[in-house]
Amino acid sequence: MSDTFSAWDYVVFWGVQLLSAALGVYYAFADGGRSTEADFLMARRGLTAAPVSLSLAASFMSAVTVLGTPVEVYRFGAAFLLFGVAYALVVIITSEIYMPVFYRLGVTSTFEYLELRFNKQVRLVGTVLFIVQTILYIGIGIYAPALALNQVTGFELWGSVVTTGIVCTFYCSLGGLKAVVWTDVINTFIMVAGFSSIIIQTSNLQGGLKTIVRHAEEGGRLRFWDFNPSPLQRHTFWTITIGGTFTWTGIYGVNQFQVQRYLACKTRFQAKLALYLNLLGLWVILTCAVLCGLGLYSMYRNCDPWTSHKVSAPDQLMPYLAVEILSDSPGLPGLFVACAYSGTLSTVSSSISALAAVTVEDLIKPHLNSPSQKTLSLFSKGTSLFYGILCIGMAALASLMGGLLQAVLSIFGMIGGPLLGLFTLGILNPFANSLGSFIGLIVGFTISMWIGIGAQFYPPPPERTLPLPLSVANCTVTRNTHLDWTKFPEHPFLRPWKTSDLKRTPVVDNLYSISYLYLSALGTLITVFVGTVFSLLTGTYSLNVILSNISITAFEIHHDEPLWKTLKTGEISGTMGLVEPLVFH
């Protein structure tokens, strides 16, 4: 097996990078260029459902999906396919509850809503939490897949890190959201093509998909229906469908880098259609990833490359497989690497675009005195450039942070859950006030961080993670064949801090063993509960007013009259929550 790329592999890989850069140049000058803030950050709110749906799917499915999901199936079985149920629930909840509110208000940053609903302080806290979460994540999003690919394929580590950062920064800074969306469209097809190359080749080598499925069944990889209600089990039907729904609603429902896309659609119908079409894309990519995982198991069921020490970490298994089975077909290893980097490009470019939007709208614009659209456009391009450079720096920092990185990969649960709870309070609780919601956010965030970080020090025991057996029976040479999978984290890339010799208490064995998928749900529910209680304690309400407001909230969410052209700051603050301006303005 060759550990380096051929000339054709480099041609394929660099062709993808250049195509992305070319789109940035094109959309920098197409249709008169991106001369206003609305052009740059929101594509003039003129996008249609088809490209936005693919962009949503590509942004959602990062390099973690390409490299991590197949390994998840390889190690723990195909129950991961049940995330398809969670995705469907997420799309329904987002399109029926969160999207109508944001679209009708016509906001650019989701955090504008927090000031309209609560006050400037709540908006600022939400913005800062989002920026910290996203900056940490994009550094990992660039570095982790680059490291995995480097160690298996010999692909230059820092060359790929810098290239990814420069390409993303280039087309984000020049072409704005429209360039990001259309690049995501191309990346979606590249991701599917990369997956397909693995599925087709493993099927050919193993005698067809039926053989792969038979091997998976014999190896216990097709057990889907574990209805154990315990929240301490890593993956069950309930943890995946309920916990997964909360986790990804935090991304689709209120996270800027997803919301920004469907708010750029020309009509609310197009925005809703984009969400539902995106569901089809998610199912296709998820199915491809699971099939790759089953193919990975079929190929290595009798000689696991990790326990036989052919690779040093599980996230290297997919690149290892790709190089081994595709090396005789010039260009195909390059296609798989392009597939992994397409996930990285989509995630990082989405994050840069979202960071630019919230920075300009939430941190810069409020301090400018009637800025022109040209000025705001320049600020938007400048912040995109700044965050692009910063993400390369964060990737460099990620290489030095060691075990801390697993905690960073859990950040969407630790921060995303409480933020989802904050927005949910504002949208669905008409008597939630600023003080109560702020206290709820802080309490939810504190408890989520406590449990999330504690879980890194005290990983759950083997009986909670339930890794499936692996074999090295047919390996010609094996070293260190008794490795403990359970010492690795829930996320695919990084190892936890050294904790194997720490004494485990009942708190450790229970609280810190809660499934990582419930982390977001916990943060959301605590924020909503505490925010509701403190809003009742610090406000004056009559039961009749509360009940009447609750009864019309669901109806008013779906009112078609647009508010964003006339609504002013503060008009949905106060005791009546979101409902009052929707009824009386």
The pLDDT, as a whole number, for residue 35 is 61
Looking at residue 290, what is its pLDDT?
Answer: 94
pLDDT band at 539 (very low <50, low <70, confident <90, very high): confident
Residue 399: its pLDDT value, please?
A: 63
Contacts of residue 251, defined as CB under 8 A and 6 or more positions apart, other chains included, come to 60, 258, 412, 416
> Is residue 122 over pLDDT 70?
yes
Statement: residue 480 has pLDDT above 60: no
Residue range 17-26: average pLDDT?
A: 77
How confident is the model over 432-460, as pLDDT tens digits?
899 999 999 999 999 998 888 887 777 77
Q: Tell me, what amino acid is at 187?
A: N
Q: State the pLDDT at residue 212.
A: 94
The confidence band for 100, taking pLDDT boundaries of 50, 70 and 90, is very high
Which band of pLDDT confidence, cut at 50, 70 and 90, is reported for residue 215?
very high
To which residue do tokens 């260190």 refer? 480
* Residues 35, 534: Cα–Cα separation, whole Å: 45
Q: What is the H or E stretch that residue 582 is in? A: helix 579-584
Statement: residue 495 has pLDDT above 60 = no
Top mean pLDDT of 71-75, 97-101, 404-408, 550-554 is at 97-101
Counting residues of the chain whose pLDDT is more than 90, the rounded percentage is: 29
Note the pLDDT of residue 418: 94
- Summarize the confidence of residues 201-227 as an average pLDDT: 90
Q: Which of 23-27, 268-272, 339-343 has the lowest mean pLDDT?
A: 23-27
Residue 517 has pLDDT above 50, yes or no: yes
> What's the average model confidence in pLDDT over 129-153?
76
Mean predicted lDDT score pLDDT of the chain: 79
- pLDDT exceeds 90 at position 246: yes
Spell out the CATH class of 7-27+34-398+405-474+481-584.
mainly alpha
Give the mean model confidence (pLDDT) for residues 411-437. Answer: 89
Q: Which of 334, 20, 323 is nearest to 188 (CA)?
A: 20
| Per-residue confidence band for 398, with pLDDT thresholds at 50, 70 and 90 | low
Task: Write down the pLDDT at residue 405.
Answer: 42
pLDDT at 385: 87
Provide the angle, in degrees to the nearest 10, between the axes of the packed helices 157-206 and 373-398.
70
In the prediction, which pLDDT does 469 show? 78
Average pLDDT over residues 362-379: 84
3-state helix, strand, coil in the chain (%, to 5): 75, 0, 25
pLDDT(582) > 70 = no
The DSSP annotation for 131-180 comes to: HHHHHHHHHHHHHHHHHHHHHHH---HHHHHHHHHHHHHHHHHHHHHHHH
- Domain ranges across the chain: 7-27+34-398+405-474+481-584
- Please report, rounded to a whole number, the percentage of residues in the chain having pLDDT higher than 70: 78
pLDDT given at position 541: 57
Buried b (16+ CB within 10 A) or exposed e, 372-404: eeeebbbbbbebbbbbbebbbebbbebbebeee
How confident is residue 491, by pLDDT bands cut at 50, 70 and 90?
very low
* Per-residue model confidence as pLDDT tens digits over 27-85: 767 665 556 777 778 888 889 999 999 999 887 766 777 888 898 899 888 888 999 99
Report how far residue 318's alpha carbon sits from residue 72's, in angstroms, rounded to the nearest whole number.
11
CB 546 within 8 A of CB 429: no
User: What residues form DSSP beta bridges with 47?
Assistant: 265
Residue 496 has pLDDT above 60, yes or no: no
* DSSP-H helix ranges across 330-482: 332-358, 373-398, 404-409, 411-428, 434-457, 462-465
The band of 280, judged by pLDDT with boundaries at 50, 70 and 90, is: very high
pLDDT-based confidence at residue 103 (cuts at 50, 70, 90) = very high
Highest mean pLDDT among 68-77, 201-210, 512-521: 201-210
Residue 172 pLDDT: 77
Question: What's the whole-number mean pLDDT along residues 500-514?
Answer: 67
